[in-house]
Structure 1
Amino acid sequence: MSSLNEAVSHISHDGEIHHPHKPNFSSASIKRYIVTRFTDLLPPKGHFQANKHLLNPLPPLKLIPGRQWLMILAALWGWTWDAYDFFSVSLNASKLAEDFDKSVKDITWGITLVLMLRSVGGFIFGYLGDKYGRKWPFTINLLLMCILEIGTGFIKNYKQFLGVRAVFGILLGGIYGNAAATALDDCPVEARGIISGILQQGYALGYLLAVVFTRAIADTTDKSWRAMFWFGAGVCFLIVVFRSLLPETEFFKQKKQLEQYNVENNISQPTFKEKAVASLKIYWLMIIYMVFLMAGFNFMSHGSQDLYPTLLTKQYSFSADRSTVTNCVANLGAITGGIFVGHMSQFVGRRLSIIVCCIGGGALIYPWAFVNNSAINAGCFFLQFFVQGAWGVVPVHLSELSPPEFRAFIVGAAYQLGNLASSASSTIETTIGERFPLQSKTGDQIYNYALVMSIFIGCVFGYVLLIVLAGPENRNANLKVESAANEFEKEVESLSDEENYDPRVESSESQNKTQAEYLERA
């Protein structure tokens, strides 16, 4: 189908990746692209009828072998513990403010620092994951996070808090790209949508666990929030051990076998750096689009979640138990929505699934923010159903849009650069909130978080809807190394010819055939 690469490249869906080209900005190409943003929003005629047997998620899930399930679980738990650490701060913002003699607004700068520096980790560990494999960069990333969680429990002042959160930002930013590659590299096409939804909901699961353990540990022990991080370090170490016992993904092993075959047979091939340069020349516009897309998504999640516990406890005077229940309900809605919509995107398309979620989420802003009795549980359940329902499409959507040789790097970098753009969401909301003061039942001066968050999230839903409507889709793209890598190398060679330098890539049909035969034997 047409996509941004119709103005960007030539890509189709349902298992095919056509030869990519550099961006084409001719008036005819741009006009065709604009028209197809609407005509390609719905799946082709007959698509539902041909695939209705896959509406039941069980048959696609049965296609996943046992070892791949272990890889998915490792990726899921790594991403879950990333979220657990992040929300351990936002859920304990009041306690941290009291311990360090600061305001809640000051503590939100710790959240902002993490979001700002995530992109650094995305670049570093994404690069390492594409060059050296998904396994050890991911494992080392988690191990460093484990060590830092232990140290966090011993910080004594606000400056140390900010310093530790800055380093955490780098480490947390490295998790997503390699987690997505670990889960999706070898995933069958039919199961890709639901696995994407399951993986992404590690974020909601991490939030849910942070809510539960905040109530069980931080609210009941002398060490308060410090014990939260010590507990987190123990679980993180178990995830490190689990991932270290599993193998590398088949995708990466096949890529290395292909490179080894080329070396053994004196077949010239591009270096990692040359592939990176060629990738940017081909996909630069796509990458820019992905960053803008992920900025909207990150504003959507952080804008609806980071200060929600503060809204419940400060503005609506919810008790700790009642706030815990409401936040648990919200995250159950998020997990349900992410898995359901991720699976349905396999049939209705990635873009349409996200657009429907934006419309549904916008319709639920009022009961999510302004109902201050037990009915708020329904509002927050369904709003997070749509927020994380849209997010459930993200891992597979980004993977299908990314250059195959740099999937971990591009997916991680785009996600974390979006985080960078949205890094000040909590601080923005608290700053705007100061203009809408309220007086609590206890006489304390508080802010109208409900009004501020509603306006903020409403604008974000509109932004995401428009950018997704204008954007590309490459649903069910072939992620296999035998086809994807060869198509990519053809473009590297064509770029070399265009710029009149000695090409180092030889990817003739006979060589590709020989390479495929070699991989079959391997």
Structure 2
Amino acid sequence: MAMTPATQQPPGTPEVPAHRARERRRLHTKLKLATQIGEGIDGYIIGGIGMAMTALTADLHLSTLMEGLVGASPLIGIFVGGPLFGRLADRFGRRPVFLADMLIFLVGSVLQFFVTDGLQLFLIRLLMGVAIGGEYAIGAPLLSEYAPRQGRGRLLASLEISWYVGYALATVVGALFADVDGGWRWSLASSAVIAVVCVSLRGGIPESARWLLSRGRREEAEALIERYGIEIDVDAELDERSTTGQAGFWALFSKDHLRSTVFASVFWAALVLPYFAIGTFWTQVFDALHMGDNAVAALLVYSFTAVAGVTAGCLVVDRIGRRRLLIPPFWITAACLALVAVWPHSTPVIVVGFLFFIFLNAASSALTAVYPLEVFPTALRATGVGFATAMSRVGAAVGTFLLPMGLDRFGVEFVLLVGAGVLALGGLVSQFLAPETTDLDLAKAARTARGPVSG
């Protein structure tokens, strides 16, 4: 199917006029920064609790139950925020939702400073989790709908780098405030600074041209395409609209989209469950492995190894393809956690096993900002991403909530074997359901996801 002249630039055609190229660069830069900072604040909010947990548990006199709830609260909130904001973005547009959820981050960040008990902190971080779910459902989909076909994987995967950088930065800030009386309040509330910057960037971001096409608003979409020189296969988008229509939430479970829904939900949940659970209660895990004296240094290494891993994933995602970046690391990381569980008293096994687990898990996690966006059509993209986000966080929340109790009752070996089993399940599901969508237009990628698996 042919692209419209304004969107197609095959070799040998004249370059985009200078004024349009400037407009496009300005928009792409602003949108990329606004989205990357949004992803960064997600990681910052989730990562900050790991370093603050010991101090706030003592100050607020948390029980083991409330400790688990506070640790899992953002992940529980994502379960609500992902589908809710995703459906709102598909129905009312990307632009208003993109701004509204960042305002929730700002308010929640400030309120954390003033909590006086565990229930208050749980409720505030639950609300912030709703906003995180909204960010996943709208930030990456909006960026993907303005991204060029080639290099789209690297661009979207760079959002995961921002997430891990935010996570690592929160760890550093938490360490700086660790010896300050009430320092956990300052470290948790510091996310307000990032939220202010992000809110200022999101003003003036235009609506998605692909979303406008999905709503039949072709003239408005083509005006944006003309103004910014956006690369869109308009015919494919319109064909996809005629197939999908104004589909609602339940279309995710229709025969056309069920495979994409199951795949995106399961692979994402399997990737993040062990990472979030172990990272949130890293000190307890290392104590159980009799390496508690090195827990703080190890958490810093954990965070920055993850940054290196997701960066590597970002660099290779468009070169080796989606399936190769996803499936082999699932099996390798499962083996790593299993080895640590089998030899829990061997320092070399613990160090090497965790380093490989963290690096490869983070490398594959680059695909959580890529695959879910490519397997759903435009009319369902934010809804599908929101639902997959929710399902991934259900798993992560359950793992985070149960980990401290699992350590107390069954021991670290059992906990690590469960993590290995979850990763192996992710590898099995991905082997059968993961499509290869590298370098395809978004509309064509969604159609490929409904066909037989290749590779």
TM-score (norm 2): 0.78
Task: Name the structure 2 match of 1:216.
Answer: 176
Task: Name the structure 1 match of 2:427.
Answer: 465
Task: Name the structure 1 match of 2:116.
Answer: 156
Q: Deviations over 1:17-37 (max 9, x none)?
A: xxxxxxxxxxxxxxxxxxxxx
Letter in 2 for 1:384: I
Task: Name the structure 1 match of 2:17.
Answer: none
Q: Are 2:157 and 2:367, in contact at CA under 8 Å, matched by a contact in 1? A: yes
Task: Kindly indicate whether residue 214 of structure 2 is the aligned counterpart of residue 242 of structure 1.
Answer: no
- 2:336 aligned to 361, 364, 372, which one? 364
Q: Are 1:338 and 1:393, in contact at CA under 8 Å, matched by a contact in 2? A: no
With over 3 angstroms needed to count, the CA separation of the structure-2 counterparts of 1:384 and 1:69, relative to structure 1, is farther
Please list, as runs of the form range in 1=range in 2, the aligned pairs for 1:203-282 lying within 5 A after superposition. Answer: 203-217=163-177, 219-252=178-211, 258-259=217-218, 274-276=246-248, 281=254, 282=256
Q: Are 1:90 and 1:307, in contact at CA under 8 Å, matched by a contact in 2? A: yes
> What SS does the aligned partner of 1:185 have?
helix
Q: Are 1:333 and 1:382, in contact at CA under 8 Å, matched by a contact in 2? A: no
Q: Are 1:291 and 1:415, in contact at CA under 8 Å, matched by a contact in 2? A: yes
Task: Name the structure 1 match of 2:373.
Answer: 399
Deviation at 1:279, TM superposition (A): 6.2
Task: Kindly indicate whether residue 141 of structure 2 is the aligned counterpart of residue 181 of structure 1.
Answer: yes
Query: Gaps (5+ residues) in structure 1?
Result: 1-14, 17-63, 437-447, 489-522
The structure with the larger Rg is 1
Deviation at 1:226, TM superposition (A): 0.9
**How many residue pairs align between the two structures?**
405
Deviation at 1:339, TM superposition (A): 2.9
Q: Deviations over 1:260-288 (max 9, x none)?
A: 579xxxx9x98x98432666533134323
- 1:292 aligned to 244, 260, 266, which one? 266
Q: Deviations over 1:338-381 (max 9, x none)?
A: 23234433243322321111233234334698477699655433
More off after superposition, 242-251 vs 91-100 = 242-251
Task: Name the structure 1 match of 2:416.
Answer: 454
Distance 2:203 2:345 in 1: 47
Deviation at 1:159, TM superposition (A): 2.2
- 2:358 aligned to 376, 384, 394, which one? 384
Q: Deviations over 1:375-425 (max 9, x none)?
A: 965543332111111111222111111122221221122121221133210
Deviation at 1:230, TM superposition (A): 2.4
Letter in 1 for 2:270: G
Letter in 1 for 2:332: G
Distance 1:323 1:479 in 2: 45
> What SS does the aligned partner of 1:92 have?
helix
Distance 2:251 2:422 in 1: 34
With over 3 angstroms needed to count, the CA separation of the structure-2 counterparts of 1:209 and 1:252, relative to structure 1, is same
Please list, as runs of the form range in 1=range in 2, the aligned pairs for 1:20-59 lying within 5 A after superposition. Answer: none
Distance 2:257 2:439 in 1: 15
Percentage of identical aligned residues? 18
Deviation at 1:471, TM superposition (A): 0.8
Q: Are 2:252 and 2:261, in contact at CA under 8 Å, matched by a contact in 1? A: no
Task: Name the structure 2 match of 1:333.
Answer: 305
Q: Are 2:50 and 2:279, in contact at CA under 8 Å, matched by a contact in 1? A: no
Distance 2:220 2:146 in 1: 21
Distance 1:249 1:185 in 2: 6
Q: Are 2:113 and 2:186, in contact at CA under 8 Å, matched by a contact in 1? A: yes
Letter in 1 for 2:297: V
Task: Name the structure 2 match of 1:505.
Answer: none
> What SS does the aligned partner of 1:470 have?
helix
- 1:418 aligned to 381, 386, 392, which one? 392
Distance 1:147 1:285 in 2: 38
With over 3 angstroms needed to count, the CA separation of the structure-2 counterparts of 1:203 and 1:188, relative to structure 1, is same
Task: Name the structure 1 match of 2:78.
Answer: 118
Deviation at 1:241, TM superposition (A): 0.9
Q: CA RMSD in A?
A: 3.4
- 2:107 aligned to 109, 122, 147, which one? 147
With over 3 angstroms needed to count, the CA separation of the structure-2 counterparts of 1:294 and 1:362, relative to structure 1, is closer
- 1:80 aligned to 31, 37, 40, which one? 40
Q: Are 1:145 and 1:168, in contact at CA under 8 Å, matched by a contact in 2? A: yes
Deviation at 1:197, TM superposition (A): 2.4
Task: Name the structure 2 match of 1:512.
Answer: none
> What SS does the aligned partner of 2:217 have?
helix
Deviation at 1:212, TM superposition (A): 0.2
Distance 2:213 2:179 in 1: 51
> What SS does the aligned partner of 2:190 have?
helix
TM-score (norm 1): 0.69
Distance 2:282 2:379 in 1: 39
Task: Name the structure 1 match of 2:12.
Answer: none
Distance 1:205 1:382 in 2: 19
Letter in 1 for 2:432: A
With over 3 angstroms needed to count, the CA separation of the structure-2 counterparts of 1:311 and 1:261, relative to structure 1, is closer
Letter in 1 for 2:52: N
